Amino acid sequence: MANNRQAKEELIRKYGAECFIERLHLRDTKGLKYKGKGQYRKMKMLTYHHIKPKSKGGQATVDNGAILSNENHAWFHKQPKGKQQEMNKKFQEFKRDVDEIKLILVDDVDVDFKVVASILELDEKGRIKQERKDSHEEANKKGNDYIRWYWFN
């Protein structure tokens, strides 16, 4: 990444446009007061946070970043170093967890079973008129007059 803006946009694309502190419930912001809509918008504006500080060689990358609102970013830097380190670890864990979940949802899984459907055709009174087994694909082509049960073979 070349700069904070690009890293921030990539973080937002991967993890959503929400402050990590608020998402992880690390600070209660319910009692905060604002002077108007303009101040509210400015305080809620999202910023890029370096987990490893720039002064210590931290780069503007997705791996080294977190998305924080202006008000939470300022609050973060007022916290003791130990609490900052703890929050930075939680930011990293959050990103790792999200990445693992996305990997599981996207990955193709090769399994050694097939899905079979039992299709029950009902009459006008809701009684079973006919029952037959079909493949998952064929069962999904049928209309709403059918009840489908799936099991694994």
Kindly give the confidence (pLDDT) of every residue in the chain, 153 residues in length, as a single tens digit, with 9 standing for 90 and above.
569 999 999 999 899 899 999 999 999 877 778 788 888 888 889 999 999 999 999 999 999 999 999 999 999 999 999 999 999 999 999 998 888 776 555 555 566 665 555 566 666 766 766 666 655 555 555 554 444 444 444
In terms of phi and psi (left: phi > 0; alpha: psi -120 to 50; beta: otherwise), the region of 16 is left
pTM here? 0.64
Neighbouring-strand partners of residue 72: none
Neighbouring-strand partners of residue 15: none
Task: Quote the CA–CA distance of 71 and 63 in Å, as a whole number.
Answer: 22
Question: ∠104-109-111 over CA atoms, to 5°?
Answer: 140
| pLDDT for the residue 117 | 56
8 A C-beta contact, residue 24 and residue 80: no
Task: Quote the CA–CA distance of 73 and 84 in Å, as a whole number.
Answer: 11
